[in-house]
Amino acid sequence: MDAFISSVITLVLVMDGFGNIPLFITALKKVAPERRTWVIFRELFIALLIMVFFLFCGKWFLRAFGIHSYSLSIAGGIILFLISINLVFSTEDSSAPKSDPKDEPFIVPLAIPLVAGPAALSMVLIIAAQHSNKLMTLGAVVCASLINMAILLCSFPISKLLGQRGLTAIERLTGMILILMSVDMVLGGIAEFVKL
């Protein structure tokens, strides 16, 4: 039971639900308010499916394509860097959300890499390697995903509380933090590569 609770807590921290709130608010600002909850459910469900896939097939998937674990870190860092540059230097007016389904984020960047990013996928592989009971690990992934969903569904009340200027400030600040995180992910991947 202790291993299960520890796995859930670790995955919740790695998924970083609270840190992703500003990013979800920003990514969903063009989506019609009545569709936002559905988009969050959809993206988090996709992220859960990806993590479950990695739980059972991750090692073979990486081996089949000749992908190393450090490649996950470097690729995720590059994607996060591009997203964060857009956040910091975005100049578009976001005062009125649009209802065009084409403006809805799909898989990238919400499901991947913000929720099921390199850190979360690597942690799923690590937990699966540490514990032989795959069902326990699967339960931990599902529980952590439900906690993450509850956190992210609170992003809209927070956005109303902060207002447009507050959101813009958080968007810029989050972009700067993400730039640092993305560089750290890339350097971590490079450091892991150099050790080989």
Helix (H) or strand (E) holding 48: helix 33-64
Decide if pLDDT at 38 tops 70: yes
Q: What percent of the chain has pLDDT over 70?
A: 91
Euclidean distance between the first and the last CA atom of the chain, given in angstroms as a whole number? 35
So where are the chain's domains?
Answer: 2-195
Per-residue pLDDT band for 141 (boundaries 50, 70, 90) equals very high
Q: What is the mean pLDDT of residues 93-102?
A: 48
- Residue 39's pLDDT is 93
- Residue 43's pLDDT is 94
- Which segment, 111-115, 122-126, 170-174, is predicted with the most confidence on average? 111-115
- Tell me the C-alpha to C-alpha distance, in Å, between residue 76 and each of 2, 37, 68, 83, 120: 30, 26, 13, 11, 11
